[in-house]
Each structure stands twice: as structure tokens, then as C-alpha cells.
Structure 1
């Protein structure tokens, strides 16, 4: 399996989305996140998935 991204623009878009969600949740994301707790990182990832699912479901109706 190749490490080449199928849609290179998606990487930047997801990074922007992650930073937006982290900012809203008050999680201080940066280039180095090794000092964050699992709970902090998980809250950002969980919220991202929640929003992506909501967006997808809104298009099904």
C-alpha cells in the first residue's frame, strides 16, 4: 500500500478542521501535542467525527 495521499488537499483541510474544533473546545493544539492528555485529544477527534457524521446525514435527507 502506498503512502501517497489520494486527495492531497484533504490533509490541509482536515488539519484546519482539527484546529478549528480544538480552538472551540479550548484544547491548545500546536505542532507538538505530546503534552496533551488522551482525553483532550480524544475530545477533539470525537467532536470532529460527530460533526462529519452530522454533515453527511444532513445530505441524506
Structure 2
């Protein structure tokens, strides 16, 4: 939220948390996260998600 509202930065953000309940996921997206991943996350899944956000940003 600070990154989006205070700094007005559009850097892609992926939230990683063990608390992947619906409330936390929705809150992360409302604050401007580009994606949410529940831990543990595999490195290959993380790479796919990072690539997706970077491609979206390039368009």
C-alpha cells in the first residue's frame, strides 16, 4: 500500500505468505499486489509468476 499510494510506484509486487486465507489474499490485491503466492512455493512456480507480471508490465 505504501509503495502504491505514498511512493506512487508501479513496481510489480508478489506477496508470499503462509497466511493465504481469502481475506489476506483479497487485501493484498486491494493494496495493489500483482499476485499472491501461498508458502511454501516452488522456485519454478515463482519464476512463472514473476515472468507473467513482467510481461504484463511490458505491454
TM category (shorter chain) comes to 0.3 to 0.5
Larger RCO: Structure 1 or Structure 2 (Cα < 8 Å, ≥ 6 residues apart)? 2
TM-score, length-scaled by structure 1: 0.43
Instruction: Give the structure with higher Rg (CA).
Output: 1
